[in-house]
């Protein structure tokens, strides 16, 4: 007990000493002051933060006897701040340019040997320096407002959410509001009664108010001219077309507000869409010579006929700070014109199939959309004899976008000239392209042989044609594959080509050679002293021939054709088996066993009752058969047996029919004999009743019983199991 009391006394003394030490330190800490040089700091201001002690003894007590040189300062951002010693009890940190920060961003701390002796928090506000202040009003609206806008100073919302902005004009001051879609954008509106829209200048003062002291005030003064504030209405309203053709447009409109702009020069700005168009010229709006209130503007040298253009037009007063009006927008289409040119053709850009001697295919490079110059664009092809320039009347042409198929040309030693025009709703192109087709006799001697493409090497190779006199070189053709018809090039893309000189007989370096999305062909080019080229040889691919080859020695890859035939045969066999299976299943029928039939209607009368009684007696063993019973007992027995059978013999459901486990031979009619109520048979004895009866025992079947009647010969071996007991 004494020891415990001693321990309590020691703990009390220790706590008292510790409390005295804390009180002593607290007393010394109260003498430490950390303070900023000014409280109205804003971005860019210079300031200093000092740490001072009231007494030197307090400094030494807190720093374990050390002096002022052991004091340093920190912030949460910068671990070590540069400090200067002012005297034996004061140090300070100097900041040349303040950065905006809110009150709780960070604090300045005064430390000694890692122990914080004091700290100070203060706010650095933003400075009102608006660069994008501007005002506008619509010059034609008598009751319009003067709407001014500007952007908040950077970091103003982060530093102080309570910052507000006020705009003063004359003696009227109003608060500005943030834009609904952009909180950084401020709007101020001055009512039409508080400003004069015809004044030469507008003096406006913008001020900012936040948590810092109001002095000095954060204000900016703006003086804006009327030209800087007014926004003109769009020009060209209710414009009418005064001139329009395939390359030019002129618009005119009534300048109804021209009297309001006397003494001001109007600047114009125009944009023509699509923006990539070049070469056009624009005449700025001007007053018509014969009418001083109508203005007119024109666009000339427009590059494309029958083309949709969009004209955008702005105007403003001649001041670099003036506001542009809202754009006047006018969309138009130039008039149609004849096609710009005929399609480009190659001297060897044709193909003849020897298996169809009267057919010739001619190829060209189709025109682009911008060159068609009108609606209903297509091509016109006709054939002339080279000898007399007479039209070949029997020639039939089927024209597509990049080729024509000419039929009914007679194979002969005569040359033909194919004339090709571009055509639209206005008419045929002024110029035409002509393609000379040499004699159609044996053209296969004037085409390259053994053309082969290597996808792995990315090359196309061939051998010279059989007739090589005056041979100059070759032309390689390629086009995008038409996935629906391999005998045609893709009509939406132009056919491309490359001309090669002798002795070259190989083409490589084209990445398309490694792809299966292009068709390839080669033609031989001859000089003027030869008969002429045999046309293009189109390369055959593993999908089959692109066109029937003019080279008789060309080999056809039949493997893929055979694979297709085998696949069709297998599919046909499979369909046949399925159909046969369904037909077999449709012939399945449910056949009831012999003797199972629906019950006939109940027989009526005394003869029916006697027949029922006789049938029931046949089911009893001979020893149990009654010799003769009174009629009353027989009737009672018949009624009881009927009730018993109605209970023991439920209707047979065909869907749940189950045959006997043991098959029994058919024996014709089976009479059934029932005992009377007084001589009911046990179930065991009933099972021993013989089923086979003499043929002379013939009875009519009573109603409400199962009919055992044979239906076919030879008979089935499935029967309904009769009940084993009757009650």
For 433, residues 6+ apart whose C-beta sits below 8 A from its C-beta are 342, 343, 344, 345, 364, 419, 420
Residues 289/236, Cβ–Cβ less than 8 Å: no
Q: What is the reported pLDDT for 394?
A: 86
pLDDT at residue 581 is higher than 50: yes
Q: Which residues contact 275 (CB under 8 A, 6 or more apart)?
A: none
Lowest average pLDDT, out of 428-437, 446-455, 483-492, 646-655, goes to: 646-655
**Model pLDDT, residue 197:** 84
The alpha carbon torsion through 570, 573, 578, 584 (nearest 10 deg) reads: -160
pLDDT at residue number 615: 61
Long-range Cβ contacts of 657-662 (<8 Å, 24+ apart): 657/592, 657/593, 657/596, 657/720, 659/593, 659/718, 659/719, 659/720, 660/718, 660/719, 660/720, 660/721
Model confidence over 138-156: pLDDT tens digits?
877 667 889 999 999 999 9
Residue pair 415/438 in contact by the 8 Å Cβ criterion: yes
Which residues contact residue 487 at a Cβ distance below 8 angstroms, ignoring those fewer than 6 apart?
A: 546, 547
- pLDDT in the model for residue 228: 92
Question: Which residues have C-beta within 8 Å of that of residue 727, sequence separation ≥ 6?
Answer: 644, 647, 648, 680
Count CA atoms within 13 Å of residue 522 on its CB side.
Answer: 28
The Cα 670–Cα 156 span in angstroms is: 114
Assess contact for 68 and 112: CB atoms under 8 A.
Answer: no
Residue 712 has pLDDT above 70, yes or no: no
Which residue did the predictor score with more confidence, 291 or 345? 345
pLDDT digits (tens, 9 = 90+) for 477-526: 999 988 887 778 888 888 999 999 988 889 988 888 888 888 899 999 99
Mean pLDDT of 415-423: 94
Question: Residue 532: which residues within 8 A CB-CB, separation 6 or more?
Answer: 415, 436, 437, 438, 439, 446, 526
Residue 187: exposed, middle, or buried by beta-carbon count in 10 A (0-12, 13-18, 19+)? Answer: middle
Percent of the chain with pLDDT over 70: 72
Token pair 């009534």: residue:
254
Question: Is 517 in contact with 478 (CB distance < 8 Å)?
Answer: no
Write out pLDDT tens, residues 288-321.
766 667 889 999 999 999 999 999 999 999 988 8
What count of residues does the chain have? 727
Give the position of tokens 């009927």.
Answer: 642
Mean pLDDT over the full length of the chain? 79
Of 619, 594, 612, residue with least CA distance to 670 = 619
Which pLDDT band, with edges at 50, 70 and 90, does 675 fall under? very low
Q: At residue 159, does pLDDT exceed 80?
A: yes
Q: How far apart are CA 449 and CA 471, in angstroms?
A: 14
Whether omega for the bond prior to residue 274 falls within 30 degrees of 0, making it cis, is: yes
pLDDT (average), residues 434-456: 85
Q: Which residue has the higher pLDDT, 445 or 13?
A: 445
87-111: pLDDT as tens digits: 999 999 999 999 999 888 888 999 9
């Amino acid at each position: 007990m004494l020891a415990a009391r001693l321990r309590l006394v020691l703990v009390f003394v220790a706590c008292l000493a510790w409390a005295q030490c804390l009180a002593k330190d607290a007393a010394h800490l109260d003498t430490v002051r950390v303070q900023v040089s000014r409280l109205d700091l804003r971005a860019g201001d210079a300031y200093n933060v000092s740490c001072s002690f009231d007494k030197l003894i307090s400094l030494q007590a807190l720093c374990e006897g050390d002096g002022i040189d052991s004091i340093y300062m920190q912030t949460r951002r910068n671990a070590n701040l540069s400090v200067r010693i002012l005297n034996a009890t004061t140090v300070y940190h100097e900041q040349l340019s303040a950065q905006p920060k809110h009150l709780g961003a960070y604090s300045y701390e005064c430390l000694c040997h890692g122990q914080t002796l004091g700290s100070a928090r203060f706010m650095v506000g933003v400075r009102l320096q608006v660069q994008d202040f501007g005002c506008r009003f619509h010059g034609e609206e008598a009751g319009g407002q003067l709407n001014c806008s500007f952007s908040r100073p950077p970091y103003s919302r982060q530093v102080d959410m309570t910052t507000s902005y006020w705009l003063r004009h004359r003696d009227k001051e109003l608060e500005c509001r943030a834009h609904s879609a952009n909180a950084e954008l401020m709007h101020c509106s001055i009512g039409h009664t508080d400003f004069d829209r015809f004044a030469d200048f507008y003096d406006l003062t913008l001020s900012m108010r936040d948590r810092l002291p109001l002095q000095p005030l954060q204000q900016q003064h703006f003086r804006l001219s009327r030209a800087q504030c007014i926004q003109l209405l769009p020009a060209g309203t209710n414009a009418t077309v005064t001139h329009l053709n395939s390359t030019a447009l002129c618009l005119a409109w009534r300048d109804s507000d021209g009297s309001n702009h006397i003494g001001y020069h109007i600047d114009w700005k125009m944009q023509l869409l699509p923006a990539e168009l070049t070469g056009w010229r624009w005449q700025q709006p001007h007053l018509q010579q014969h009418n001083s209130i109508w203005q007119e503007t024109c666009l000339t040298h427009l590059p494309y006929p029958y083309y949709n253009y969009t004209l955008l037009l702005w105007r403003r007063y001649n001041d670099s700070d003036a506001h542009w009006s809202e754009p006047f927008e006018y969309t138009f289409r130039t008039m149609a014109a004849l096609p710009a040119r005929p399609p480009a053709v190659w001297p060897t850009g044709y193909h003849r199939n020897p298996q169809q001697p009267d057919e010739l295919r001619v190829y060209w490079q189709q025109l682009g959309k911008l060159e068609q110059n009108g609606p209903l664009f297509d091509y016109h092809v006709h054939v002339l004899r080279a000898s007399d320039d007479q039209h070949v009347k029997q020639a039939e042409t089927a024209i597509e976008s990049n080729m024509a198929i000419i039929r009914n040309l007679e194979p002969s030693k005569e040359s033909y000239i194919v004339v090709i025009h571009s055509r639209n709703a206005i008419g045929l192109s002024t110029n035409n392209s002509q393609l000379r087709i040499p004699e159609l006799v044996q053209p296969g001697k004037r085409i390259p042989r053994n053309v082969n493409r290597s996808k792995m090497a990315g090359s196309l190779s061939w051998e010279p044609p059989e007739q090589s006199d005056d041979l100059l070189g070759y032309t390689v053709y390629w086009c995008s594959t038409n996935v629906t018809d391999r005998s045609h090039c893709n009509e939406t893309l132009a056919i491309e080509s490359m001309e090669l000189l002798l002795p070259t007989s190989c083409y490589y370096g084209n990445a398309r050679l490694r792809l299966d999305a292009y068709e390839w062909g080669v033609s031989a080019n001859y000089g003027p002293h030869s008969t002429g080229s045999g046309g293009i040889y189109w390369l055959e691919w593993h999908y089959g021939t692109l066109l029937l080859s003019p080279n008789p020695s060309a080999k056809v890859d039949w493997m893929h054709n055979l694979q297709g035939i085998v696949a069709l045969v297998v599919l046909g066999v499979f369909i046949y088996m399925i159909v046969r299976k369904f037909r077999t299943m449709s012939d399945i029928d449910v056949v009831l066993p012999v003797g199972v039939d629906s019950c006939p209607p109940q027989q009526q009368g005394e003869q029916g009752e006697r027949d029922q009684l006789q049938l029931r007696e046949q089911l009893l063993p001979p020893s149990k058969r009654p010799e003769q019973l009174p009629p009353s007992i027989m009737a009672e027995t018949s009624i009881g047996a009927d009730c018993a059978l109605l209970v023991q013999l439920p209707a047979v459901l065909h869907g749940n029919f189950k045959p006997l486990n043991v098959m029994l031979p058919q024996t014709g009619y089976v009479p059934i004999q029932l005992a009377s109520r007084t001589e009911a048979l046990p179930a065991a004895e009933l099972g021993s009743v013989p089923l086979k009866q003499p043929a002379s025992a013939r009875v009519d079947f009573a109603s409400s019983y199962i009919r055992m009647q044979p239906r076919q010969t030879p008979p089935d071996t499935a029967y309904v199991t009769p009940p084993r007991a009757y009650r």
